[in-house]
A = this chain, B = another copy of it.
Amino acid sequence: MTETAHTHTTRADGRATDEIRPVTIQRNWTDAPEGSVLIQCGNTRVLCTATFTEGVPRWRRDSGLGWVTAEYSMLPRATAERTDRESIRGKVGGRTHEISRLIGRVLRGVVDMKALGENQIQIDCDVLQADGGTRTASITGAYVALADAIEWARQKGHVAKDARVLTDQVSAISVGIIHGTPMLDLPYVEDSHAQTDMNVAMTGSGRFIEVQGTAEGAPYSRDELGVLLDLAEKGNRELQALQREALAA
């Protein structure tokens, strides 16, 4: 698979197979949260907020350690067909649970809980418009909201001035094999045709926090896995540059 090959594959939106969608990251999109980020990856649009509260849940008390947790949700008409609200159905679906847990785990992977102290940060990722990659966009946006909330806590004196709460940067992106071709950053139309898709959360230092590769269609070989990880690494490096740019603004 060469660079030339990529540019010849036709994707519905004209991108090369190893090209990410246009990304914008707006900080302070709403006023109340300690961190509030609207991230847009192609047509996927997610509002990521970070709520800082002093104290930790009961099971964590007197440990000297903080906690970071996340909840993911979709507005009913974020999708082409309206989906019923989980509040109305009275229970949270398996997919929602799974993604919420994933986001929390990944963010905790770059937080030094001791440096955070006995404080809690709750991440909320609400998908306003969904076009594939909502969980990875959530992680990428949530990292920025998390950084803002930690900075807020530092200013307010809830966290020590010199504490290095964030031990690394983190972002995530999807990759997949469509009609035999490995591709980066799948929109909905590609995702639904993927034989295999994989979500990869990677740190700024190039290590993996989470690799989730699923092949409901056709199982993949060790070699294909290698190519997918290469693509994911390239995409994550680009997203991380955009995160740094947003935080520097």
Contacts and interface: CB of A to CB of B under 8 A. Distances in A.
A203 B219 contact: yes
A219 B87 contact: no
Contacts of A219: 109, 168, 203, 205, 207-209
A85 to B, nearest CB: 6
A85 B122 CA distance: 12
Interface in A189-221: 198, 203, 205-217, 219-221
A75 interface: yes
Contacts of A86: 87
A-side interface mostly: mixed
A122 B220 contact: no
Interface in A107-135: 108-109, 122, 124, 126, 128-129
B109 A77 contact: no
Contacts of A77: 30, 32-33, 36, 49, 51, 124
B45 A30 contact: yes
A122 to B, nearest CB: 6
Nearest to A98: B98
A229 interface: yes
A205 B217 CA distance: 15
A211 B225 contact: yes
Contacts of A122: 76, 82
Interface in A136-170: 168
Interface stretch (A12-20, A88-96, A235-243): A88-96
A78 interface: yes
Contacts of A31: 43, 129
A72 to B, nearest CB: 10
